[in-house]
Chains A and B, each alone.
Chain A
Amino acid sequence: MMQKLTQFVPKGVTGMEPSEFEVKEEVLSRIKQLFKKKGFHQVQTPIFEYYDLFNEIKGTIDKDQMIKLIDTDGKILVLRPDATIPIARMVAEARETKDGKPVQKYSYVTSIFRMNNDPQNIQSREFTQAGIEWFGSDGVQADAEIITLAILSLIEAGVDAFTIDIGKANFYKKLIEQIELAEHEIQFIQRLIENKNFLELESYVQELMIPAPYKEALAAIPTLYGEPEKVFARANQVAVNDEMKMEIEHLEKVVRELEAAGFGNFLTVDLGLINHLNYYSGIVFHGYIAGYGQPVLLGGRYDGLTKQFGYDTKAIGFAIYADHLITALKAQEGGTRSWNI
């Protein structure tokens, strides 16, 4: 063996020394307590699962990113690439076996495994997610409640300055459904929207053979972000049908709820947040910490998921990327990641 045994650690995973682990455990226990206080019950799902489960169920994880193993009978297994899908299965099972109302509020703190493209990052292949899933709830109240819990979690973890960015992917979906375009054209448009490439989208849309109001609406989507008030006004101007207006109305109500509860300062809105369109069915939200380059929290409504397990119910949830959160907290305290000049 060429390497020393102490250096013999695979890429993308790492151990944690007591001093680091205690910090992480402390933050996670505060978050766990908060979840419990709000009536969420912690569960555990298997560390490996059949690949086919994640292949057949519509989710948010790229198949290439799953870490695969071969079972003794030749079937392909994957290391837990996501917590939500196994929990959705648990809910569908529970409904069949128990009498009375099954548990509908779940929480988890667990390792997630992915084959990331960034082998330099020592936590890119095994990282901790802490999150909640709430089944059977719908409407403005439920959406606002879950976003409130997301905000409270970050406050509880000790974050000083953060932003919860809220989107409504259906605003875009209800528009693009009305326009006849080839699949590759739609893919291209979505990429431009996701990258906020305003100008290239504008000139691309102008070339399409579609009615002018549709052009205007499509070109406007990535510009519909920022202060909720301004975004809603502009969104209503460009909306080409009532369905789009209803999406805005719902989002507006959720934002009003949150503002009334005193959380207005934490919010921005972005109608160009359209990642994982086939998975999220309603509101979507990302949490960002000031000075930290990546989102630390992702969530949204995914009403279609449990139906694929034969149990049709509503669902909303979010996940906190605990390791990112800890790194961001360190930076906040003037650690190594802030500018030293």
Chain B
Amino acid sequence: MEYLNIAIAKGRLVDHTIDILRAIGINFPDYHEKSRKLIFEDPVKKIRIVLVKASDVATYVERGATDLGVIGKDSLIESGANVFEVVDLGFGRCRFVVAGLEATVLQKHKFIVATKYPKVTNQFFTERGQTVETIHLNGSVELAPLVGLSDCIVDIVETGRTLQDNGLKVLAEIFEISARLIANKASFKTKHSRIDDFINHIQSVVNEKGAVGQ
């Protein structure tokens, strides 16, 4: 039997994913949080995981370097990748929001938005019929309105703690996101019975977990 390869976004999604895989009997004996290894395998179940940067998961899957991937919906949308989006894994829940200082006026002319997510940002403001200038940053986006780089930010928030600590408020909600299982379209066809089984198992674990409110 051939290996099924899964790319997972490094960071908070890894542990959740490994928990779900464990629940369907897939184990990676040499995996522990501190490990610097990037590839782990379950030689019995023929499953391999590779840990990659969140924004690269979609690329691995789209180009067929891995059959499947676990990725936040935020990165998936930004990537614009041509893949199947087969399971809402339920974990990694957070919200896309517009945030800024309390006094920010959203309707202002020549509005400047700093974000890691230019696609989501443009889509949101276009739908509102507002033209904005987007500044693409790679991190610490909260800083932008504080130093006068932008009027507000578009970012994902989980608890709102970072916003609060930096004196920012949520000005508008965009949408909720969570982690997704994605599949390469060709693998989905050429290994369909294996991938189908895998998806069904994952889906049933997710359904059970959903009941207790992950």
Interface string of A193-204 (1 = CB under 8 A from B): 001111110000
Nearest chain B CB to A266's CB is how many angstroms away?
10
Q: Are A226 and B186 in contact (CB under 8 A)?
A: no
Nearest chain B CB to A103's CB is how many angstroms away?
34
- 5 example contacts (A-B, Cβ-Cβ < 8 A) are as follows A197-B85, A270-B189, A290-B191, A291-B64, A293-B185
Q: Are B86 and A197 in contact (CB under 8 A)?
A: yes
List, in ascending order, chain B residues with CB within 8 A of A339's CB.
Answer: 3, 5
Q: Are B64 and A294 in contact (CB under 8 A)?
A: yes
A residues 182-238 in Cβ contact with B at 8 Å = 195-200, 225-226
List, in ascending order, chain B residues with CB within 8 A of A341's CB.
Answer: 39
B residues 38-86 in Cβ contact with A at 8 Å = 39, 62-65, 83-86
Q: Are A196 and B84 in contact (CB under 8 A)?
A: yes
List, in ascending order, chain B residues with CB within 8 A of A196's CB.
Answer: 84-86, 183, 188
Residue of B62, B185, B196 touching A226 (CB-CB under 8 A) = B196
Interface string of B126-165 (1 = CB under 8 A from A): 0000000000000000000000000000000000000000
Interface string of A263-301 (1 = CB under 8 A from B): 000001010000000000000001011111111000000
Most buried by B among A196, A198, A286, A289: A196
- Chain B residue nearest to A196 (CB atoms) is B84
- Chain B residue nearest to A225 (CB atoms) is B192
Q: Are B62 and A163 in contact (CB under 8 A)?
A: no
* Known contacts A161-B190, A225-B192, A226-B196; is-contact A200 B185 (Cβ 8 Å): no
Residue of B189, B193, B196 touching A165 (CB-CB under 8 A) = B189
Q: Are B190 and A195 in contact (CB under 8 A)?
A: no
Q: Answer yes or no: A162 CB below 8 A from chain B CBs.
A: yes
B residues 192-213 in Cβ contact with A at 8 Å = 192-193, 196
Q: B-side interface residues toward A, CB under 8 Å?
A: 3, 5, 39, 62-65, 83-88, 183-193, 196
Given contacts A195-B85, A293-B184, A293-B187, 20 further A-B contacts (CB under 8 A): A161-B190, A163-B189, A163-B192, A195-B84, A196-B84, A196-B183, A197-B84, A199-B87, A199-B88, A226-B193, A268-B192, A288-B185, A288-B186, A288-B189, A292-B186, A293-B65, A294-B63, A294-B64, A295-B185, A339-B5
Nearest chain B CB to A233's CB is how many angstroms away?
16
* Known contacts A196-B84, A198-B86; is-contact A286 B189 (Cβ 8 Å): yes
* Known contacts A226-B192, A294-B64, A339-B5; is-contact A289 B86 (Cβ 8 Å): no
Q: Are A291 and B190 in contact (CB under 8 A)?
A: yes
A residues 310-341 in Cβ contact with B at 8 Å = 339, 341
- Chain A residue nearest to B86 (CB atoms) is A196
Docked pose: A270 CA to B196 CA in angstroms: 13
Docked pose: A288 CA to B63 CA in angstroms: 13
- Chain A residue nearest to B180 (CB atoms) is A197
Nearest chain A CB to B92's CB is how many angstroms away?
15
Nearest chain B CB to A337's CB is how many angstroms away?
8
Docked pose: A162 CA to B84 CA in angstroms: 19
Most buried by B among A195, A289, A291: A195
Q: Are B83 and A200 in contact (CB under 8 A)?
A: no
Docked pose: A317 CA to B164 CA in angstroms: 60
* Known contacts A196-B84, A197-B86; is-contact A295 B186 (Cβ 8 Å): yes
- Chain A residue nearest to B80 (CB atoms) is A117
Docked pose: A308 CA to B80 CA in angstroms: 33
Q: Are B86 and A292 in contact (CB under 8 A)?
A: no
- Chain A residue nearest to B186 (CB atoms) is A288
Q: Are A195 and B83 in contact (CB under 8 A)?
A: yes
List, in ascending order, chain A residues with CB within 8 A of B87's CB.
Answer: 199
Docked pose: A291 CA to B183 CA in angstroms: 13
- Chain B residue nearest to A117 (CB atoms) is B80
Docked pose: A161 CA to B2 CA in angstroms: 13
Nearest chain A CB to B81's CB is how many angstroms away?
10
- Chain B residue nearest to A331 (CB atoms) is B64
Most buried by A among B189, B192, B196: B189
List, in ascending order, chain B residues with CB within 8 A of A197's CB.
Answer: 84-86
Q: Are A293 and B64 in contact (CB under 8 A)?
A: yes
Docked pose: A98 CA to B16 CA in angstroms: 69
List, in ascending order, chain B residues with CB within 8 A of A292's CB.
Answer: 64, 186
Nearest chain A CB to B183's CB is how many angstroms away?
8
List, in ascending order, chain B residues with CB within 8 A of A295's CB.
Answer: 185-186
Q: Are A200 and B88 in contact (CB under 8 A)?
A: yes
Nearest chain A CB to B189's CB is how many angstroms away?
5
Docked pose: A291 CA to B191 CA in angstroms: 9
Residue of B86, B186, B192 touching A294 (CB-CB under 8 A) = B186
